[in-house]
Amino acid sequence: MAPRLTRSSAVLAVAGALAVASGCGGGAPRPNLVLVLLDNVRADHVGGYGYPRPTTPNLDALAGEGARFYRALAPSSWTRPSVASLFTSRLPSEHGAVAMESSLAAGLPTLAETLRDAGYLTAGFSGNFVHVSERGGLARGFEHWTSLSLPAREGVDELWRMPGGDGGTVALRAPRGEELTRAVLDALPTGSGPLFLYVHYMDAHVPWVPDPERWRRFSRDGGTAEAAAASSDYVVRLAAERPRVDEAERRRLVDLYDAQIAAADAALGELLRGLRERGVCGACVVAVAADHGEELGEHGGWFHGGNLHRESLEVPLVLHDTRQRLGGALDPRPASLLDVAPTLLGLANVAVPAEMRGVSLLGPRASEARALAAELHEDPSFEQAVRPREHRLALVRWPWKLIVSRRGAASAYQLERDPGELEPLGAEGGPAAELGSAAAALLAAPARKGSPRAELTREEREALRALGYAR
């Protein structure tokens, strides 16, 4: 069941209380900023967004002292363009990092660059060593950057293989959440200025290899964790071939997904406890979000990056400022990941670059009136591995959503009556037609090219293949 949305005094206090925190005056010390990204986590599998299973007790506790933005939209349904939008507050067509072989365009200020130039010490730790890395331009502005990969366990959870010194290969994988948390806490930089810390967890991304104890808590059909594990190849085959999946198999995959969300949440809890013990979160702002969701059989699909339906785009977005207790306020106003950078800059008393498109979540904003956008672009590597992308653009102006297909056909959805986006309507007349005009303008605008990249190395192609993005 989704959270009940009311404009209670708590909800209406979100903007005012955070605005007070951001306007503490020139003499007040600036807060440390912590931005946590939970890869592949859809909002409707988060407890604080109405999910009945105990997937996210730590995130829910954080939200209980902060603010939840209920209608938060990712700007794309896969990692590279979405995280680039998070960092630049621009749409994918405006920053250029839209395909496997494209990088963030030069000249756009990023959140890390802006904070670094304002005197912040900037540090990033990415478990997504494939997409969120120096090669994609997403480490720009971080004075300390770690893209972490680790040796695989007997090949069961390997993401890719690289040449070894003996002429063979070495299997690597993304770090488990507790491993990434340990790496962050062991290598926290120290300096005279405030800290901006970015941490990117990968537990909810395939392959899904649950911890045995956690699997016992989430499995509804029993069996061992080892036998239940789902490889990247298996889930991508479901996405590419779209076979009929019976209810027992769908339940198993959902249980795996939930168990892995719980793993990411446990790591988040350890991170926050460690930061408090080290004095980082005395006066600090913590923002937690996801880069996109995951298809779990809705609309016939699996994996992500293929469509712009709600299961792919609706993400959790939680903001907590230790200087203000908001009591778990639930803000129903539409929000975008493009709004995160302007919000954090406002809380740091740092001017927002004019190039940033998003708005601050701190104060009054024309939230119901603005249309939030999400995009998908052509990407031969992905489409050869998985399937042709169904959609090109989605626009949401609550309660209406318009999706433009790859071929240009438009479908409208009235989200209050059809939250699952199962009953497409015509796009002629009324609010749908207004969204259609806005969509036409976005599609007609020239897209920015990403920065030139060297051709992908063999190791990078193997990394993409093992994560499900290439064959």
Alpha-carbon 176 to chain mean position: 17
Q: Output the pLDDT for position 160.
A: 44
Q: Output the pLDDT for position 136.
A: 83
140-156 per-position pLDDT tens digit = 999 999 988 776 665 45
Q: Output the pLDDT for position 6.
A: 43
Beta-strand relationship, 400-405 and 410-414: antiparallel
pTM: 0.90
Q: Regarding predicted confidence, which is higher, 356 or 175?
A: 356
Q: Output the pLDDT for position 10.
A: 40
164, 168, 121: which is closest to 142 by C-alpha? 121
Q: What rounded mean pLDDT belongs to the chain?
A: 86
Q: Is the pLDDT score of 69 beyond 50?
A: yes
CATH topology of domain 29-359: Alkaline Phosphatase, subunit A (3.40.720)
362 Cβ contact list (under 8 Å, min separation 6): 15, 18, 19, 22, 343, 346, 347
Q: Is the pLDDT score of 450 beyond 80?
A: no
Assign 43 to helix, strand or coil: helix
Q: Is the pLDDT score of 252 beyond 80?
A: yes
Question: Looking at residues 77-97, what average pLDDT do you find?
Answer: 96
379 pLDDT tier (thresholds 50, 70, 90): confident
Q: Is the pLDDT score of 9 beyond 50?
A: no
- Sign of the C-alpha dihedral, residues 466, 39, 37, 251? negative
164-214 per-position pLDDT tens digit = 444 455 566 788 999 999 999 999 988 778 999 999 999 999 989 999 999
162 pLDDT tier (thresholds 50, 70, 90): very low
Q: Is the pLDDT score of 315 beyond 90?
A: yes
Q: Which two tokens stand for residue 454?
A: 């060297």
Please tell me the distance from the alpha carbon of residue 401 to that of residue 413, in angstroms, as a whole number: 5
Residue 257 burial (CB count, 10 A):
25
Are 385 and 206 contacting, i.e. CB atoms less than 8 angstroms apart? no
Domains of the chain by residue range: 29-359
Question: Looking at residues 63-75, what average pLDDT do you find?
Answer: 93
Q: Regarding predicted confidence, which is higher, 131 or 215?
A: 215
Question: Looking at residues 214-230, what average pLDDT do you find?
Answer: 92
Question: Looking at residues 216-233, what average pLDDT do you find?
Answer: 90
Beta-strand relationship, 284-290 and 317-321: antiparallel
Assign 172 to helix, strand or coil: strand
